[in-house]
A and B are shown apart, each in its own frame.
Chain A
Amino acid sequence: MPPPIPSRAPRGTPLYVHLPFCAAKCHYCDFFSVADEGQDLEGMIDAILAEAHVRAPHAPRTVFLGGGTPSLLPIPLLRRLLDGLEQVTAFRDHAVEVTAECNPESLDGEKARALLDLGVGRLSIGLQSLDDDILRLFGRVHDAAMGLCAYEAARDAGAPNVNVDMIHSAPGLPTRTWREHLRRILDLEPDHLSAYTLTFEEQTRFRTWLEQGRIERQAEEVELLQFAITREACSAAGLEAYEISNHARPGRECRHNLVYWHGEPYVGIGPSAASKLGHQRMGNLRAIPAYLGAIERSGTAIDWLEELSPVRRLAETWWLGLRLSEGVDPARARASAGFEGAGEDPALAEAERLVERGHLERVGERYRLTPRGLPVADAVARTFLTRLH
């Protein structure tokens, strides 16, 4: 039974668009995507535009085309999508940041120029590794050379703002090699680098392989080391870590993603896309036929909805906010959760306890993770998520 159709979000609300197709599913990936072969890409674009018509906010501050692999769309379809969104939202005049996720196999000079022409200003390229064996293990359909070519193509096309996605702690990846790859990437002078520790998410091939013993996870020390040297090397290259896995040149932090970590509202359209509006979080149907059917019937495809209680809002603010190097301002956390004064703030006592233990530090009015707290950010988050009442 679908929850009530939410009203259109206020003008300026950030917009996320989910394109659920990839050339092939990567073995570690747990985002919702399917192989594009034989899919009705056009039908999907039209459905997303139909949903935008009902739900997309006017003049969004930021737009993010994610997936899946948006760059996989042929140029005419990209045009149809972005022109369509422009008609509904007028994002081209208002958005300060428009990102499209790209993969090397579908990003050449022509595609990059087309994206820029259509109003995209930020390209996020999934390189993931510079080791061909590891790329094969990951199930990627490109090699390291193609990755570097895609980056060059983006720059040659004049992309002003480029992010590179990388993964460390892959099975068998020596720290020395990672250091070397990192240097080569930083030498390209990207504006932004997302570097993730490899994870073994549920319902991925990697998880199955791990359980079957077909691949081996790196030792905890190695994961910690590769995590630490990534921050160091990025910092030395002028890209400060502003989030657990994200590094940027000053002013090039991803404004769209900051919305998530700040707990601000956003609208997501497309299969499986989530939204946060007011004190509610909701998500769309995942299965493509179900999504298409729902859109055709009603213009929306909301599958689930949760109401966030004040305590949960407070805990979420701390959890997500502590992922950022700027940390959390308790007063703002309280305000977003609807708590009156510091006297009734249950999070403060937890935060102070974590300060005593050396996992948090206080800088001015804000709390943030210490170098000791950073690698155990989830355990810190858990104390807020499970202990506040």
Chain B
Amino acid sequence: MDPKLIRNFSIIAHIDHGKSTLADRMLEITGTVQAREMKAQLLDDMELERERGITIKARAVTILHEKDGVTYQLNLIDTPGHVDFHYEVEKSLQACEGSVLLVDASQGVEAQTVANAYLAIEADHEIIPVLNKIDLPHARPDEVAEEIESSLAIEATDAIAVSAKSGANVDLVLDRIVERIPPPSGDPEAPLRALIFDAVYDEYRGIIVYLRVVDGSIRARDRIRMMGTGKVYETVEIGRFSPKMKKCESLQAGEVGYFVSNIKQLGDVRVGDTLILDKGPAVEMLPGYAEPQHMVFADFYPTNPGDYEDMRDALETLCLSDSSLSFEPVTSDALGFGYRCGFLGLLHMEIIQQRLEREHDLDMIQTAPSVTYQVLDRHGEEHWVHSPGALPPPDQYEELREPIARVSMLVPTEFIGPVMTISTDHRGVFVRQEHLSATRVQIVFDIPLAEIMYDFYDKLKSCTRGFGTLNYEITGYKADDLVKLQILVNGKEVDALSSIVHRSRADTRGRAVLKKLRKEIPRHLFEVRLQAAIGSKILARENIAALRKDVTAKCYGGDITRKRKLLEKQKAGKRRMRQVGDVDIPQKAFLSVLGGESKS
């Protein structure tokens, strides 16, 4: 196809502002998908995504749209909306030339809309503002258009008002994409250069690589090379997304599609890499992606030690399509062999955990999430500390620093007071406050990332009756009075339960953790002593009394097998237990500690 007739675009929106619905309508209106095949949220094909109503992975689809008698090929690259998936958004945006900025006409501009819109502006995108849910009684299109202008400096007087739900005016959006977004600028005659912007693993076909052709073209049976990894493959199949994968002869400069090559080695494909012809002339690599910044670390341990290898395979598979996930082997006295994983944020962590359990059928124990700390040692050298267990004793370092996030919150003006309060409660330092419109205000605080991780978002939501939204970026590291809160079970420190906290919080948090453990750890043959401590100083104690009575009254010949099975029942449950010394700690106990301080 003539590159002049191609438009590559993405949709930027906050969760629930109707991005997936708009995409669905576009597919329907253009006949890409017949109405009867339509499943709501067609693009979100992971089970988890559909369940949570959020988009995790970037997806792509090719739409044919006719305008003034000419057929255009519109390639929509879907982007995730959640703050954790910032990195995925960046990847998607680099594969297109323009964006539809979709804003809910009653909710208004939200913090993530701002963050993602700035990414699009940075990527030099032509931005088309669209106001959604215009048919709702609370819609206030004029005010929201004003918010777009004041918060993003984007001209929004001609914003298209649509209802993605009913489909009203969605055709106008398609027309405007054709009018405003520039066609791809690549050279169809130049040697092949394509950007790998995503990849998924298919059990039967190997790795499916999502690509955007920048220059030249790619055909079936081409021998191609991935510049970064140096791996050479022959393309077995080339195709487009409509939205199902559909074979085609070739993909030209500007087009978006996929190739399959029976690639089974997960390490061979790296998202962000440049694809070229193996025997072609030398070309310059496309600008790669910035390394994702891991904000949150947690350890995953297989409940059944025999699953260690399977867990590695599963993590490798996930890494393939999610280059923002990292992992490395780790050993713990209490939990055995496992992996320390780095995540973009808490939601990212939760999704990876669930995918390991659902898609790879692994039972595992997950440690409390922890941010990466920085230690300044006595020789003036800086070290990274990814887990509380790795923190040296206090007399061996000068400073313990934690990551600070600049948190930008958009809230209705009547909630300024409560938002200030929770921010200060979470050790936040006020930065600035700006009115976006008569009713909405942007409040910016510097808050330690660790504070945000536990329950800040929940608290923001509840103190603004659900209207507040936030976005954050890490601005640097700052020393504070941080201590390692140790949890001891019968005198033995369990590193998986320990955490680094601000000294002022250690006491409350220690108590809360012990209370939860007390509930989850079963009674043993002996008393189980739980302690929370900083160094040798005990902050809190709980005891779990020893079992006093546990004996079968009747045990005769006819019943031995059944009684034994009853006694062994705990063995099945044991897969979810960990032994610390003689104490069996159920997985639930580890997980219960994850919630952080008890909600007050």
- Asked if A and B bind, the verdict is yes
* In the complex, per-residue mask of B542-554: 1 if CB is within 8 Å of any chain A CB, else 0: 0000011111111
Q: Is A316 an interface residue (CB 8 A)?
A: yes
B221 at interface, CB cutoff 8 A: no
Closest 10 CB pairs of A and B: A196-B553, A260-B557, A377-B551, A386-B571, A379-B550, A197-B553, A378-B550, A274-B558, A376-B550, A375-B549
Q: Are A378 and B556 in contact (CB under 8 A)?
A: no
Q: Encode A299-342 as 1/0 by CB contact (under 8 A) with B.
A: 00000001000000000100110010000000000000000000
- Min CB–CB distance A20 → chain B (angstroms): 11
> Is A366 in the interface zone, CB < 8 Å from B?
no
The answer to whether A359 touches B550 (Cβ under 8 A) is: no
From known contacts A245-B553, A376-B551, A377-B552, infer whether A316 and B560 are also in contact, taking CB-CB under 8 Å: yes
A323-B564 contact, Cβ under 8 Å, with A224-B548, A357-B525, A378-B550? no
Bound Cα distance A244, B558 (Å): 17
Does B568 lie within 8 Å of A257, measured CB to CB? no
Q: Across the interface, do A31 and B558 meet the contact criterion of CB distance under 8 Å?
A: yes
Binding site for A on B (CB under 8 A): 524-526, 547-561, 564, 567-568, 570-571, 574, 582
Contacts of A196 in B (CB 8 A): 553-554
- Closest chain A residue, CB of each to CB of B524: A379
Smallest beta-carbon distance A119→chain B, Å: 21
The CA-CA distance from A386 to B553 in the complex, in Å, is 20
List 11 extra interface pairs beyond A196-B554, A376-B548, CB under 8 A: A32-B558, A224-B549, A261-B555, A266-B557, A316-B560, A357-B526, A375-B549, A376-B547, A378-B550, A378-B552, A386-B567
* Contact between B549 and A274, CB atoms less than 8 A apart: no
Cβ-defined contact, A323 with B558, below 8 A: no
Complex Cα distance, B524 from A357, in Å, reads: 11
**Across the interface, which residues of B come within 8 angstroms of A83, CB to CB?**
none
How far in angstroms is the closest Cβ of chain B from A275?
A: 8
Chain A 268-301 residues near chain B, CB threshold 8 A = 268, 272-274, 276, 281, 283
The answer to whether B559 and A382 touch across the interface, beta carbons within 8 angstroms, is: no
A261–B526 Cα distance when bound, in Å, is 26
Known pairs A223-B549, A379-B525; A385 contacts B556 (CB<8 A): no
The answer to whether A276 and B557 touch (CB under 8 A), given A316-B564, A378-B567, is yes
CA distance A257 to B555 in the complex (A): 9
CB distance from B210 to the nearest CB of A (A): 47
The verdict on A35 contacting chain B, using a C-beta distance below 8 Å, is no
* Contact B567–A382 (Cβ < 8 Å): yes
Contact for A376 among B525, B564, B568, B582, CB less than 8 A: B525
Chain A residues 353-380 with CB under 8 Å of chain B are 353-354, 357, 359, 374-380
Chain A positions near chain B (C-beta within 8 angstroms): 16, 18, 31-32, 66, 196-199, 220-221, 223-224, 227, 244-245, 257, 259-261, 266, 268, 272-274, 276, 281, 283, 306, 316, 319-320, 323, 353-354, 357, 359, 374-383, 385-386
Give B556's nearest chain A residue, CB to CB.
A260
Roughly how many angstroms separate A386 CA and B75 CA in the complex, as a whole number?
Answer: 58
CA distance A319 to B555 in the complex (A): 11
Q: Which of B550, B558, B570, B574 contacts A377 (CB 8 A)?
A: B550
Among B526, B548, B553, B571: residue with most chain A CB under 10 A: B553
**Interface CB pairs A-B, < 8 A, 27:** A18-B558, A66-B556, A66-B558, A199-B552, A220-B549, A223-B549, A224-B549, A257-B556, A257-B557, A260-B555, A260-B557, A268-B557, A268-B558, A274-B557, A274-B558, A353-B582, A354-B525, A375-B550, A376-B547, A376-B549, A377-B551, A378-B550, A378-B552, A379-B547, A380-B525, A385-B567, A386-B567
| The residue from B552, B557, B567 contacting A259, defined by CB atoms under 8 A apart | B557
Contact A359 B553 (CB under 8 A): no
Q: Could you tell me if A244 and B551 are in contact, using CB atoms closer than 8 angstroms? A: yes
Q: Contact at A375–B558, with CB atoms within 8 Å?
A: no
Docked complex Cα distance between A353 and B567 (Å): 20
Q: How far is the CB of B561 from chain A (nearest CB, A)?
A: 5
| Contact indicator A320/B555 (Cβ below 8 Å) | yes
Knowing A320-B560, A378-B567, A386-B570, say if A199 contacts B553 (CB, 8 Å): yes
- Residues in B with CB closer than 8 Å to A66 are 556, 558
Contact in complex: B560, A274 (CB < 8 Å) = yes
Give bound CA distance, A281 to B570, whole Å: 22
CA–CA, A374 and B547, complex, Å: 12
Chain A residues whose CB sits within 8 angstroms of the CB of B582 once the complex forms: 353
A379–B552 Cα distance when bound, in Å, is 10
Question: Which residue of B526, B554, B558, B567 is within 8 Å of A381 (Cβ)?
Answer: B567
* Chain A residues closer than 8 Å to B549, beta-carbon distance: 220, 223-224, 227, 375-376
State A374–B550 Cα separation when bound (angstroms). 9
Chain B residues with CB under 8 Å of A385's CB are 564, 567-568, 571
Q: Which residue of A lies closest to B522 (CB)?
A: A379
CA distance A244 to B559 in the complex (A): 16
Identify the closest chain B residue to A282 (Cβ).
B561
Residue of B nearest to A359 (CB): B525
